[in-house]
Structures are given as structure tokens and as C-alpha cells.
Structure 1
């Protein structure tokens, strides 16, 4: 009888450990979106999704900026990376404070697709990294500008809308510098 009870307890412990391990693998962005969906009505859905995506993108910009300073070879790449860490780090802090005010849950780590992009770039160094990083920064900032403009125009929450609008000029400046960096490393 003691052996059966011990085996049942052991099996339950193993299932619990596996279940806990599985939740760690869950995409932090998806978790944040699910939590926000449960807290807010449809009116705020687009705003909370924007905030989650902006946080995910901002975290990636900082992490890639740090990587650029380490793996890049061109001064333009290292300088751009430093600017990304500073500017997006500041924007991330502002967004965290705003999200806290609005009770919006933000992701704690990169989404799976952003992590894959980071991992791919982390395998590169020197000129190969410089070109891939520059290409990614141009493409990413074009997409970000469109998303931030859309939120600034169509957002329902006045504070999130204003935050997004305030970031558009900085993102446009980043795009110009990313394009110059891209030309420099070709």
C-alpha cells in the first residue's frame, strides 16, 4: 500500500513539474494579451494589443541594440545600437508606467518570433551582422511607424494615443539613421 501511494505521489510530482515547465515556455506576449482580454472590453482591445506589441518591439530594439554594440564591426552599427538602447529603453520605461496606470499587462520577455529574430542575428558577427542588422532595422522601423501612426489616429484611449503620436517623430528619425547605416554597410 505504501508503494502504491509513493508511486502515485511521485507521478503527481512529475506531472506537476512538467506542467510548470510547459508554462515557462508559453509566449509572454500571448499571456499578456490573454490577461488584457479578460480585463478590458472590446473598446480597449486594439489599444491593449498595440501596447503589448509596442512593448515586445521595444524590448527587442534594446536587446538588438546591445547585440549591435557587441557583434557589429562598423562604427555606424555600434552607434545606432547605442541609440536604440537609450531611446527605446526610455520609451519602454514610459510605456511600462502608462500600462501600470491603465492596468494593462505587458509581456515580460520577447515573443517567440522576436526571440527567433534575436537568436538569428546573435549567430552573426562582423560585416555579416552589420548588413543583417541594418536591413532589419530599416524594415522594422517602417513597420513600427505605420503601427504607431495608426494608433495615434485610431486609438480609443487618449493617453495611449498621445504616447504613440509622440513616438512617431523619433521612429522616423530612427528610420532615416537606419537607412544611412544600411547604405554605409553595403
Structure 2
């Protein structure tokens, strides 16, 4: 009973917070004799906000291009599907071009471009592609390409809109439509999921 009283007191105190929504009932309104487990306020799969500072944008864009190029080279070494190999070669070529565009924009703004480095998720996806056998590589590659392109599109669009460096904003705005074309090509290669 003591625990139920503490729980009720905690709910009352929480309801006293400024701007608290008191119209919705608690998620679990059943009264129990045990304390409720703490609730994590952050969503389980929170997406980090897109960067608006030049250094973070350049780092993320560089890692994205590096992943595109390396994963596509891995696919080219194993795939037997001509259409997927054509797409992969386009990724090598066009992501090399976007890297050059970002480097030029950063240089014009006197921003140092660090050597690209994959994040843990990118490395995991690259390893999965590299370790896939010839029978499975196309499906794995295309699925990872879609996820990577969705992230890249969000990155470039957000920076083009909210970035802090004009030259890089312009580059991001020019890269976003290219990424959209890549997504359209992916949709042709991997029918609706």
C-alpha cells in the first residue's frame, strides 16, 4: 500500500509541472502494489538531427560518399547482374563527383576537409556486402543502398536549407537532386518492398 501511495504522489507531482498535459490518462492506469518502472522519454529509434554546421556536414557527407564508393566496388567484384553492376558503377562515378564538389565548396569557404571515416552502421553494412556470397550480394547491396540514400537525401536537403556556410549549402542543394535520381533508379532495381 505504501508503494501505491508513493506512485499516486509521484503522479500528482508530475501533473503540477508547467505546461503538463493533464487531459490524457496515464499510460497504465491500473493501481498496483509495486512502483512503476522509469519511462525513457526518448523514442527508441531517435534519429539525430541533421547537422547545420559545416564541419559536421562535411564529415557526414564524406563518410556517405566513401560508403557508396566502397560498397559499390565490393558489389562490382561479386555480382553477376548487369543492371545492378551498372548502378554500382554509377555510384562510384557520381559519389566521387559529389565528394569533389563538397571539397571544392569547403575549400572556397576555408574549411578543412578531414579524411572520411565510416561510422559503425556504415562499416557494418559494408562488411555485410563484402561478406555476402554472389547469390545474396545483390539483394543485400540494394537494401543497404536504399537506406544509405534515404539518409544522404535527408542530410543534403537539410543542410541546403539550414546550413551555416553558403558555398556548402549550394553544393548540398546541387547534390540532393542527384541522390533523388539514385533513389528512383534503386526503385526500378528493387521493386516495392
- The question of a shared fold, defined as TM-score above 0.5 by the shorter chain, is answered with yes
C-alpha displacement of 1:70: 1.0
Q: Contact conserved, 2:52 with 2:159, CA < 8 A, in 1?
A: no
For residues 4-52 of structure 1, the C-alpha deviation after alignment (integer angstroms, 9 at most, x for no partner) is xxxxxxxxxxxxxxxxxxxxxxxxxxxxxxxxxxxxxxxx962211111
Q: Name the structure 1 match of 2:68.
A: 61
In structure 2, runs of 5+ residues without a counterpart are 1-50
Runs (4+) of structure 1 exceeding 3 A deviation are: none
Q: Which has the higher helix share?
A: 1
What TM-score, normalized to structure 1? 0.69
How many residues align? The count is 142
* Larger Rg computed on CA atoms: 2
Give the alignment of 1:57-96 within 5 angstroms: 57-96=64-103
Moved more, 175-184 or 125-134: 175-184
Match of residue 129, structure 1, among 134, 137, 143: 137
- CA-atom RMSD, angstroms? 2.1
Q: Contact conserved, 1:121 with 1:129, CA < 8 A, in 2?
A: yes
Q: Contact conserved, 1:60 with 1:118, CA < 8 A, in 2?
A: yes
C-alpha displacement of 1:132: 0.7
Distance 1:98 1:167 in 2: 12
Q: Contact conserved, 2:125 with 2:144, CA < 8 A, in 1?
A: no
C-alpha displacement of 1:149: 0.7
